[in-house]
Amino acid sequence: MRNLTHQDLLDLVDGTAIFSAGGGGDPDVGYVIADKLAEESYTVELVNPLKISDKVFVVNFASVGATSVIEYDSRAAVRTFQVLEDYVGKKFYAVIPVELGGFNTLAAVDVAARNGVPVVDADGAGRAVPEVHLKVYTIDDISLTPMAVTDAHANNVVIIKATKDSHSAERIARVLAAEWNQSAYTARRILTGKQVKFSPVLHSLSMSMKIGKLLRKAVDPIKAVVQETEGFQLFEGKVDTVDKETKGGFTWIDISLKGSESCKGSTCVLKVKNETLAAYKDGKLLALAPDIITPVHHETGRCITAEKIEKDDKIVVLGLRAPEKWRTTKGLELWEDVLQRSGINETYVPIERLVQ
């Protein structure tokens, strides 16, 4: 067990945002969560997933909805956790973030700290993802339900007892989020301590804090992050156009860039459904989910979430390999379904092959 400092939490915001593919919620909200936890003297404990007893229960927590409208209410988030705990009649030993993102990971940290339980050094995706069922747990056939869903202030509370499959649970949660001003809180995917050891992406919070520290201290932060993650700098340029729409519980964005520096004379297009799902250079596929495509500030290397990108912004597009679980047959099938429903019909090619 490790107690996280205020600086650890700020590094966690910046590091998880690098793995967010431009989604995962607004890092500025994550900074506020970190500040309030420090100001109110909450203890944040990070627990090694491999050290957890097999017999305890761990719950996943996250906000669901369009990234452009997410707000945060600690009281409502904590209530969501407690509603599910009361419903199942079991005490949860810890909270695990469902994904990596500058807001969503910190929301899980906040709920854990305010309930006096640890947060697990792992997450359900190794990146941010656009749909509730799109987690590595689905590959392992771990049920998404029972799930507690509340609106942004917990004025409306719904328990989803069971569904035919994880995709059905996603649709119910998404409809509720769309009805409640495009945002909702969810506590779901109850794991045993034994499942925590093999199903999620392990030690991803520690890695994220390491990346956040590099962004804070490195002379050339973009180069440092690319080296540490064994990733790629895919494109550098200025934003030419941004087309954005919020509907159905998602933020849809098309972004086009004109290249600069080594990319001068080229163009890049990013396709976003909460997270960046595909990137094209000069009309050819440059990277495709589940690999991680993250827009960052051209100097600081910090993630600029897709909904905040504006015309004339200077950005660098990073590409990182997806966790290996996503590259399995079942993992790629889950992503293919999401991509096709998002209007993207490309065949997945690993990023390291595309950039050759």
Output the pLDDT for position 267: 98
User: What is residue 69's predicted lDDT score, i.e. its pLDDT?
Assistant: 56
Return the pLDDT at 294. 98
CB 253 within 8 A of CB 307: yes
Instruction: Enumerate the domain spans of the chain.
Output: 2-204, 221-354
- Provide the 10 A C-beta neighbour count for residue 30: 28
Q: Per residue in 106-115, pLDDT tens?
A: 999 999 999 9
The predicted pLDDT at position 96 comes to 98
Region 257-283: what's the mean pLDDT? 97
Q: pTM for the complete prediction?
A: 0.95
Residue 67: what pLDDT?
A: 65
User: Over the stretch 127-148, which tens digit does the pLDDT of each residue have?
Assistant: 999 998 999 999 999 999 999 9
CA distance 70 to 85: 24
pLDDT digits (tens, 9 = 90+) for 143-184: 999 999 999 899 999 999 999 998 898 889 888 988 898 888
Pick the CATH number of 2-204 from 3.40.50.1000, 3.40.1610.10, 3.90.550.10, 3.30.465.10: 3.40.1610.10
Q: Among the listed ranges 43-52, 241-250, 274-283, which one has the minimum average pLDDT value?
A: 241-250
- The pLDDT of 61-83, averaged and rounded, is 85
Helix/strand/coil percent split, the chain, to 5: 35, 30, 35
Q: State residue 68's pLDDT score.
A: 60
Q: Are 1 and 46 in contact (CB under 8 A)?
A: yes
Nearest to 70 by CA among 100, 102, 45, 98: 102
pLDDT of residue 170: 84
User: Alpha-carbon distance 293 to 262, whole Å?
Assistant: 19
92 CB neighbour count, 10 Å cutoff = 23
Quick: pLDDT tens for 85-111: 999 999 999 999 999 999 999 999 999
Does domain 221-354 fall under CATH 2.40.390.10? My reply is yes
pLDDT for position 38: 98
